[in-house]
């Protein structure tokens, strides 16, 4: 399946190799993400996860190989938590209008969609809590009516309940809007319960496939926290190091 483009595929990468400042960060990656799919990328620090994401959205040019995006593909991007400089006065509604101007109705809808009260629109971004700000970042990504949400470690700096609530929201949004989701995550229990497919990256794709789901019950999904067994399963998966991307 990987590397084979089809009508459902939003982004397809073939033999993707990325070099930055003379170093090869990623090599020979074949990857496809389809409509409505949730794919999670895991891997150690410095393994090339963020580079992979940036190459897929077109922010980096491949040294070799190709990245094909479906014509007219709209991507909503949620970065790792941003630091907004204290010297920059910025209301939530102004932030949501960057760089494309949005009207009040659109902004209200996006805030409601992400579980934020409409009054928050007039607040300064710097006054928000970490969890609120991540929701604002998600709201901003949704304003472009994306086919694909790209989330790069979107819960960095949130506490455990905050992380669980955020991913629950992502899943909910995905169900409602039907968009695909591609995310980098360290939260293995979330990976195990919420993803359709997991990609392990360490300079190349080490392994990929459906996560080992302990239980598919909605109760399990809602609880997230009981993912230890799932996480262990993933680690074992990691250690056997089967090069799944090979022929």
Partner 1 sequence: MIFDAFFFSALVAGIGIALAAGPLGCFVVWRRMAYFGDATAHAAILGVALALAFDSAVSVGVIVSATGMALAVFLLTGRGLAVDTLLGVAAHSALAFGVLALVLTGERGINLEAYLFGDILNVSMQDIGLIWAGAMLIGGLLVWRWSSLLTATVSDDLARAEGIQPARERLILMLAVALLVAMSIEVVGALLVTALLVIPAATARSLARTPEGMAKLSAILAVTATSLGLIAAFALDVPAGPAIVATSATGFAITTLMGAFKRTHLG
C-beta neighbour count of 172 within 10 angstroms: 13
Strand 205-209 to 197-201 pairing = antiparallel
Among 116, 150, 188, 191, binds partner 1 (CB under 8 A): 150
Q: Does 85 bind partner 1 (CB under 8 A)?
A: yes
Instruction: Decide whether 71 or 210 has the Cβ nearer to partner 1.
Output: 71
Q: Does 84 bind partner 1 (CB under 8 A)?
A: yes
Least distance (Å) from partner 1 to the CB of residue 89?
Answer: 5
**Number of amino acids touching partner 1 (CB under 8 A):** 24
DSSP 188-208: HHHHHHH-SEEEEESSSEEEE
Cα(197)–Cα(236) distance, integer angstroms: 16
Q: Is 51 helix (H, G, I), strand (E, B) or coil?
A: helix
Least distance (Å) from partner 1 to the CB of residue 51?
Answer: 12
Instruction: Decide whether 59 or 217 has the Cβ nearer to partner 1.
Output: 59
Among 24, 57, 69, 109, binds partner 1 (CB under 8 A): 57
Q: x/- site string to partner 1, residues 88 to 127, per CB under 8 A? A: xxxx--xx--xxx-----------------------x---
Which string of b and e fits 57-77 if b means at least 16 CB within 10 Å? beebebeebebebbeeeebbb
Instruction: Decide whether 36 or 80 has the Cβ nearer to partner 1.
Output: 80
Cα(176)–Cα(214) distance, integer angstroms: 25
Least distance (Å) from partner 1 to the CB of residue 104?
Answer: 15
Least distance (Å) from partner 1 to the CB of residue 22?
Answer: 13
Q: Does 59 bind partner 1 (CB under 8 A)?
A: yes
Using CA atoms in the order 153, 159, 165, 167, what is the torsion angle rounded to 10 degrees?
20
Q: Candidates 41-49, 56-64, 180-188, 237-245 — which segment interacts with partner 1 by CB under 8 A?
A: 56-64
CA neighbours closer than 13 Å in the CB half-sphere of residue 190: 25
Q: Is 138 helix (H, G, I), strand (E, B) or coil?
A: helix
Under 8 Å between Cβ of 71 and 77:
no
Instruction: Decide whether 99 or 247 has the Cβ nearer to partner 1.
Output: 99
Instruction: Decide whether 30 or 152 has the Cβ nearer to partner 1.
Output: 152
Question: Where do we find the tokens 């080992």?
Answer: 212
Q: Candidates 25-33, 35-43, 81-89, 111-119 — which segment interacts with partner 1 by CB under 8 A?
A: 81-89
Which string of b and e fits 87-113 if b means at least 16 CB within 10 Å? eeeeebbbbbbeeeebeeebbebbbeb
Q: Which residues bind partner 1 (CB under 8 A)?
A: 54, 57-59, 75, 77, 79-80, 82, 84-85, 87-91, 94-95, 98-100, 124, 150, 152
């Amino acid at each position: 399946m990987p590397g084979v483009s089809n009508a459902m595929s939003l982004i397809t990468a073939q033999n993707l190799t990325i070099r930055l400042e003379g170093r090869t960060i990623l090599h020979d990656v074949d990857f496809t993400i389809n409509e409505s799919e949730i794919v999670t990328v895991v891997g150690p620090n410095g393994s090339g996860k963020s580079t992979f994401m940036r190459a897929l959205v077109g922010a980096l040019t491949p040294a070799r190989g190709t990245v094909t995006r479906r014509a007219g593909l709209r991507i909503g991007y949620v970065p790792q938590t941003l630091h907004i400089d204290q010297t920059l006065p910025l209301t939530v509604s102004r932030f949501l209008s960057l760089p494309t101007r949005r009207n009040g109705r659109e902004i209200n809808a996006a805030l409601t969609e992400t579980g934020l009260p409409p009054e928050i629109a007039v607040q300064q971004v710097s006054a928000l809590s970490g969890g609120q700000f991540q929701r604002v970042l998600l709201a901003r990504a949704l304003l472009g009516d994306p086919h694909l949400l790209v989330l790069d470690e979107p819960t960095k700096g949130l506490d455990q309940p905050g992380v669980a609530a955020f991913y629950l929201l992502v899943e909910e949004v995905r169900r409602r809007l039907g968009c695909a989701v591609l995310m980098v995550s360290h939260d293995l229990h979330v990976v195990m319960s919420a993803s359709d497919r997991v990609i392990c990256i360490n300079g190349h794709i080490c392994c990929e496939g459906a996560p080992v789901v302990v239980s598919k019950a909605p109760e399990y999904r809602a609880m997230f926290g009981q993912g230890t067994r799932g996480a262990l399963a993933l680690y074992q998966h990691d250690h056997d190091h089967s090069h799944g991307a090979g022929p």
